[in-house]
Structure 1
Amino acid sequence: MDSHQLAELAAEACDDRKATDIELIRIEEVSCLAEWIVIAGGFSDVQVRAIAKSVEDKLKTQAERLPLRSEGVNEAKWALLDYGELIVHVLQPNERKYYDLESFWSTGERKFFSSTYKDI
C-alpha cells in the first residue's frame, strides 16, 4: 500500500467516526517529515479519541500498520498519529483554528475528503 492509499484509508477511518473537514495534504515535495498529512476535526474529547482509535484500528487491520508514535490521545484536544510517511492530526475546533495547520502546509498539494455521510 503506497502512502496515498494509506492517507485515503486514514481519511475513511476519520469519516467512519463523523470527523469534520477532513483534508489530505501531500507534503513530500516540501518536507522530509512525511509524504502525506491528514487533518480532521472532532467536536469533543470523546470524538477525538474515537476518531484516533478508528484510524489506528483501520490501519492495523487493513494495512497491517501501527503508529510509530502517538501524542495527545489521552487529553484529546489534539491527537497525532505518526506512521512515518503519514501523519494524522485530529483536532477540536479551537486547536484547529489556533494551530492552523492547513495554512502552515499551504504549499502542499491539498485534497478534500468527500464524506459518505453528506448524501444521507
Structure 2
Amino acid sequence: MESKELVTIAAQACDEKRATDIVVLDMSDVSLIADYFLICEGSNERQVQAIARELKNQAEENGIDVKRMEGFEQARWILVDLNDVICHIFHKDERHYYNLERLWGDASTVALEGLEG
C-alpha cells in the first residue's frame, strides 16, 4: 500500500472519532523517519484513546501492520507507528506544548482533500 493511501486511511479514522485540527506533514524531503506525519488532537484522555483505538482498528482491517503504539495508558500523546506514516494523537494541552508543526517547520503541509484521488 502506498503511503499516500495509508495516511488517507489514518486521517479518515481520526476524523471518524472527531479528532480536531488534523494536519498531515510531508516528511519525505526532511526526514528518513517516515513519508508522512499525521498530527491531531482530542479534547480529553478518553477521546485521545478512542482516536488511537479507531486508527489501530482501521489499519488492521486494511491489512496494515501497526509497528508500535506508545503512550496509550497516559493518553496525553499517543504515537502510532504505521511504518511510512507516523501518527501523533495529542491531548489538546500537550499539542500546543510540543508544537510538532513548528519543530518540523521545513515539512510541507498536505491538504487532506489532496490526499484523496
| TM-score between the two structures when normalised by the length of structure 2 | 0.92
**What is the SS of the residue equivalent to 2:4?**
helix
Look up the match of 1:117. Answer: none
1:95-106 alignment to 2 at 5 Å?
95-106=94-105
Question: Per-residue displacement from partner, 1:31-66 (whole Å, max 9, x unpaired)?
Answer: 01111000011011100000001110111102x012
Does the 8 Å contact 1:22/1:112 carry over to 2?
no
Question: Per-residue displacement from partner, 1:74-95 (whole Å, max 9, x unpaired)?
Answer: 1101100011111000001110
- Structure 1 unaligned segments of length 5 or more: list them: 115-120
Letter in 2 for 1:24: V
| TM-score between the two structures when normalised by the length of structure 1 | 0.90
**What is the SS of the residue equivalent to 1:81?**
strand
Question: Over the residues paired in the alignment, what is the CA RMSD in angstroms?
Answer: 1.1
**Corresponding position: 1:41 with 2:11:** no
* C-alpha distance in structure 1 between counterparts of 2:30 and 2:80, whole Å: 20
Does the 8 Å contact 1:80/1:90 carry over to 2?
yes
Look up the match of 1:19. Answer: 19
**What is the SS of the residue equivalent to 1:80?**
strand
**What is the SS of the residue equivalent to 2:30?**
coil
Look up the match of 1:69. Answer: 68
- Structure 2 unaligned segments of length 5 or more: list them: none
Identity %: 34
